[in-house]
Amino acid sequence: MNTIELYKELPKTNCADCGQKTCMAFSIAVVKGSAALHTCPHLDKHTLDKLSVSVVKLDVTEAMFDKLKEETGKLDIKKASSATGAIVTGDGIIVKCLGRDYTVKYDGSVESDGVVSLWIKILLLIYIKTADASELANDWVSFDRLRMGTVKIGAFKKECEIPLTDMFIRDYTVATASITSLGAIEVAGQPSTAAWKLCLLPKIPILILYWQGDEEFPPEVKVLFDSTADRYLDVESLVFLLRELTITLGECSS
Ligand code: SF4
């Protein structure tokens, strides 16, 4: 379930009784795993039960993180830094993800300024484990052209391209400002109305294409990847990474 889908189910009164400023902020916090659904006191039991089945079970991800952390602790992290485009420090390596610096320590723990979600920790460790040091091909491909991409294309559209399209439809100026705040650079010469290149991770650049739409076609966002992206993250992790992008952009614009 993405933030927009959850938001649609909320009362949308922005009463702040849940401790978040707005229902959108609450929706983002729940999808990120930093707030629980029941902290909105205005959801009836039926709605709560219905939404709860869509919320990821954190105990499963805790176990996943512990396993990855143990495996990462056995890796040569300094060697991994050159494969991942990370920077070596005294503590471990620094990986920039969605515009924020994270330190992955030699024991596999992950730190940053402020709270780090469990999902981001897992994603960074998968990235370090998977990276095969391929040079970027500078060849943009759609998600379904990546290895196993056709299997996850539905989830990719639902978690990424549709929420991004909604974001642009809601407010183009805010959407572009949010993307730019993460370090995106506008790119000329694309077939779309506008396009931006953005590095989600050092070796995972994406191209965001936005079509404004007309009488015949609705507005649309397409996201392209360097053809080497699946050598750095499996497609399931890429869906998660793009889902985090939509959440982060939602936070930038809320
Ligand atoms: S308590 Fe519920 S209705 Fe109020 S802001 Fe939070 S999510 Fe929205």
Residues 193 and 212 in one domain: yes
The answer to whether residue 246 sits within a structural domain is yes
Question: Biggest alpha carbon distance in the chain?
Answer: 57
| pLDDT tens digits, 11-40 | 989 899 998 888 888 888 887 777 888 889
Residues 31 and 105 in one domain: no
pLDDT band of residue 60 (cuts 50, 70, 90) is low
Q: What per-residue confidence (pLDDT) applies to 64?
A: 83
Measured in Å, residue 41 CA sits from the centre of ligand 1 at 7
| pLDDT tens digits, 83-93 | 888 999 888 89
Q: Tell me which residue has its CA closest to atom 2 in ligand 1.
A: 40
The answer to whether 235 and 147 are in contact (CB under 8 A) is yes
* Residue type at position 38: H
In this structure, what CATH number is given to the domain that contains residue 31?
A: 1.10.15.40
Using CB distances shorter than 6 Å, the residues near ligand 1 are: 10-11, 13-18, 20, 22-23, 26, 40, 42
**Residue 53: Cβ-neighbour burial (10 angstroms; 0-12, 13-18, 19+):** exposed
Q: Please state the atom number of ligand 1 nearest to the C-alpha of residue 41.
A: 1
Strand partners, 93: 88, 104
d(CA 140, CA 240): 20
Residues 70 and 108 in one domain: yes
Residues 95 and 177 in one domain: no
pTM of the model: 0.76
Domain total in the chain: 3
Q: What per-residue confidence (pLDDT) applies to 253?
A: 65
Measured in Å, residue 8 CA sits from the centre of ligand 1 at 12
The answer to whether 99 and 182 are in contact (CB under 8 A) is yes
Containing structural domain, residue 248: 140-253
